[in-house]
Amino acid sequence: DTAVSQTPKYLVTQMGNDKSIKCEQNLGHDTMYWYKQDSKKFLKIMFSYNNKELIINETVPNRFSPKSPDKAHLNLHINSLELGDSAVYFCASRGARGFNEQFFGPGTRLTVL
């Protein structure tokens, strides 16, 4: 059983389009994250939700809007896509154990043409 799943795995789209990436975790975790990994493999946190409430919102353009319909899901919607949005986007969830282990999804590779 996949713990953290993301769809789609690959997304190729034109500049200016709007797209969504979905994430689901079946671990019963309260906290979920979106990370962006650029072409140099640098990983930066974008958002964090705890029990459907936004708790971290890094300096991300407001074209990016996360939505958490329930604590098992955290979706990422991106408006007016730009070339610089091309990256791999990872969803993660965090357990309640004290040492803050995060479980990552397989990633969604977004290519904006």
Residue ranges in contact with other proteins by CB under 8 A: 4, 31, 33, 40-45, 48, 50, 55-56, 90, 92, 98-102, 104-107
Sort residue 51 into left (φ over 0), alpha (ψ -120 to 50) or beta.
Answer: left
Comparing CB distances to other proteins, the nearer of 15 and 108 is 108
Comparing CB distances to other proteins, the nearer of 12 and 15 is 12
Comparing CB distances to other proteins, the nearer of 47 and 78 is 47
Q: Please report how close the Cβ of residue 16 comes to other proteins at its closest, in angstroms.
A: 28
Q: Please report how close the Cβ of residue 63 comes to other proteins at its closest, in angstroms.
A: 22
- The three-class DSSP label of residue 58 is coil
In sequence order, what E strands does the chain have?
4-7, 10-13, 19-25, 31-37, 43-50, 53-57, 64-70, 73-78, 87-94, 102-104, 108-112
